[in-house]
């Protein structure tokens, strides 16, 4: 392969792109909020949060030395990640704790990349993560959603103008930051109605003897702080 072509691709992916105009940052935040707030829009867009949630479980399971058996994503926006290893201990605790905070932490990382001007690197990084996750998906609906998400990131990064890439990247990051806040509140409501007896906080309570309410509070803190910090980076304030 021509080394000049390789250099061009490298510069395209890892080079620094100019900051978008402030109005675009604000508009993409409004768009993200518009697909999170209404219930019908959220029922569809929440699939993207579920991908990040289950991907967080899976990634931390691998990093903590557990064996990842597979990930399932369902049309009702629920998901399941199965890993093998010790049923107790730090690895299991970290794996269980990762899900609800991963979308917000990914959004925070994305906000840092955008603030640094690495728009294309963010798009390609997301494509790579989704491609790796695809290898562990174990149901047809999960394959479909991950393939569509990965294709969207790849096509935008490869075929569109820098302005379109910036708008897409900022909308995605705003969506992760804003959308990551809602699931802990939804879980809190379900637990109050007695409908989530085997949720992640309940599993963590059994593993650590720390009350589930404390874990849920931690999820709130992480997601809200990520939104505050990521929002400051995106808005450059």
Q: How high is the mean pLDDT of the chain?
A: 93
pLDDT score for 209: 95
Query: Rounded to whole angstroms, how far apart are CA atoms 60 and 200?
Result: 14
- Residue-wise pLDDT tens digits, 109-138: 999 999 999 999 999 999 999 999 999 999
The DSSP code for 107 is H
Q: What is the model's pLDDT at position 125?
A: 95
Return the higher-pLDDT residue of 69 and 3. 69
With a cut of 80, say whether residue 58 has pLDDT above it.
Answer: yes
pLDDT of residue 194: 80
Average pLDDT rounded to a whole number, residues 212-235: 97
pLDDT reported for residue 13 = 67
Amino acid 192: pLDDT? 85
Check residue 11 and give its pLDDT.
58
Rounded to an integer, what distance in angstroms lies between the CA atom of residue 143 and that of residue 234?
31
Evaluate whether 215 touches 204 at the Cβ level (below 8 Å): yes
Tens digit of each residue's pLDDT (9 = 90 or more) over 135-179: 999 999 999 999 999 999 999 998 999 999 999 999 999 999 999
146 contact partners, CB below 8 Å, separation of at least 6: 51, 73, 130, 133, 134, 137
What mean pLDDT do residues 201-229 have?
97
Q: What is the predicted pLDDT for the residue at 18?
A: 81
Boundaries of every domain in the chain: 19-235
Neighbours of 159 (CB within 10 A): 9
Does 16 score more than 70 pLDDT?
yes
| Residue 97: its H or E element | helix 90-115
Rounded to an integer, what distance in angstroms lies between the CA atom of residue 110 and that of residue 102? 12
Position 195 scores a pLDDT of 79
DSSP for 17-48?
PPPPPHHHHHHHHHHHHHTTSSHHHHHHHHHH
Mean pLDDT of 170-190: 96
* Percentage above 90 pLDDT, the chain: 86
Q: Is 148 helix (H, G, I), strand (E, B) or coil?
A: helix
Tokens of residue 139, six digits: 């149901």
Residue with tokens 């061009």: 8
Q: H/E element holding 156?
A: helix 140-159
Is residue 106 within 8 Å of 176, Cβ to Cβ? yes
Q: How many CA atoms lie within 13 A of 231 on its CB side?
A: 17
What is the torsion angle, in degrees rounded to the nearest 10, for the CA atoms of residue 48, residue 179, residue 218 and residue 51? 0
CB 183 within 8 A of CB 200: no
Nearest CA to 175 among 24, 13, 46?
A: 46
């Amino acid at each position: 392969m021509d080394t000049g072509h390789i250099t061009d691709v490298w510069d395209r992916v890892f080079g620094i792109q100019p900051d978008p105009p402030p109005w675009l940052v604000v508009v993409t935040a409004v768009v993200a909020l518009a697909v999170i707030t209404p219930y019908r829009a959220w029922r569809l867009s929440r699939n993207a949060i579920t991908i990040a949630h289950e991907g967080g479980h899976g990634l931390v399971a691998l990093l903590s030395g557990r064996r990842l058996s597979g990930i399932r994503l369902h049309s009702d926006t629920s998901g399941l990640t199965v890993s093998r290893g010790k049923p107790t201990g730090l690895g299991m605790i970290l794996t269980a704790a990762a899900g609800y905070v991963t979308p917000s932490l990914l959004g925070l990382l994305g906000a840092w990349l955008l603030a640094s001007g690495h728009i294309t690197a963010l798009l390609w990084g997301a494509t790579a993560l989704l491609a790796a996750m695809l290898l562990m998906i174990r149901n047809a609906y999960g394959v479909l959603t991950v393939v569509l998400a990965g294709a969207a990131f790849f096509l935008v990064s490869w075929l569109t103008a820098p302005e379109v890439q910036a708008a897409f990247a900022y909308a995605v990051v705003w969506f992760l930051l804003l959308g990551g806040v809602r699931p802990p509140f939804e879980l809190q409501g379900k637990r109050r109605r007695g409908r989530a007896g085997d949720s992640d906080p309940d599993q963590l309570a059994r593993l650590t003897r720390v009350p589930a309410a404390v874990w849920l509070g931690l999820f709130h803190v992480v997601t809200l702080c990520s939104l505050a910090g990521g929002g400051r980076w995106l808005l450059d304030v």
